[in-house]
Structure 1
Amino acid sequence: MKMVDWLKKIVADVQPAVDKGLQQGLDIDAVRNFGGGPLHIPIRVLCEHYGHPLKATVYRYDRKMFLVTSIQWKDGLSREFGDPSVLPIDIENEVLNKTICEHLLRHESSNPILGGSPRGMSYSIKNNWPIFMASKAKSMTSFESRSFQVAIEAHLHGVLLDARPRKTLHPSITVHAEVRPELEDLGAAVRRVLRGADALREAGVV
């Protein structure tokens, strides 16, 4: 089966569930707590509902842990919010996959919550950054110099990943990947793009 035909089949299989959910009136909490089925269905429903991608971020700190956080979207700007999930670096890909999907489902389009992303904030506020605190790093400098991040964007027909060091002079240079709509390969894809980002760092590119 050609790739384009395969994608059309996936969309055709999922779309009735999406349409039914939207027609009946969307219960956001029910969608976020969706259970007993593939998570790509509620993710697609929320993409349709919001009219833009769902976002989450995965951090890898010191090659010891993954930290996964949810994203809130407002007026074209995105900020982290809520409590991050902390996972050991050797966690099974299936668990990493599920955790990322759960954070994608927590995505919100509303006013930013105080204490979100440290980007553009003063150093004192950055010290209260939930990701930094959850890492238990000794300092922000230590955390940022030893961390890589993967930006996750869930679209209607799949997920985009972009990995780079947290601290880099070239933030526009990333390792990019796309994951097919069923999302079963998401955890493994996160590890692959991080290995690519490691290679770029070792080569002095980033």
Structure 2
Amino acid sequence: MKYQLDESQENDIPCTALYKPNMDCFSPSIIACFILSDGWNEQALLELKKKAEADILVGLQTDGNKYESLDIIEGVIRCQPDEVNDVIELLDVRSASTIIGIDVVDVKSLFESGNLFQFIQASAIGDSESNLVKVTTHKLVNQLSKAHHTKGLFIGMESVQSLPIEVFAYIADAVERLLPNIGEDIYYCSSMTDEPNSFHLKAIYAAE
């Protein structure tokens, strides 16, 4: 588990962006995401990585098809079509706020733990913050129960206000009791949402 003060760099380059093959201009970013079913090939991805000045290429798989493995890709994340923006927001580590955040070096380390990743999320709505945290954590842990042998996990927390350290500790304890052998390969970040009376957990884990 890694706790880190959020010290986002002050510049205009976004951390994460989603690119399409028919875009006229690939604006710079550190993490370049693309949807596998959009028909990218290795040459197009090499051009994307060069023009976007990206350190990491991440493919998003939104269907059940099999795709040729490309060494240039750091990882593939399986998600539903309506979850693409959620994945982008989770990987956009510079938007992390409050007292816990991760940086791009941590994201690189996460993708070194595997090639295929799964995106999951859980949420709850209500008036009691403590109950929201408990319900959402329970939902996420139930989904993570399929990932006993994962070697990497990234969890993002979203709330309408800054969370106390006790909330982080509660979530970390629940996750690490389920995955006791994962050690330092669990990364946490937190961010703010404008959705009132809600709490969200989003996660990416190495699926193999």
Fold match (TM-score > 0.5): no
Q: TM-score, normalised by structure 1?
A: 0.25
Bigger share in helix: 1
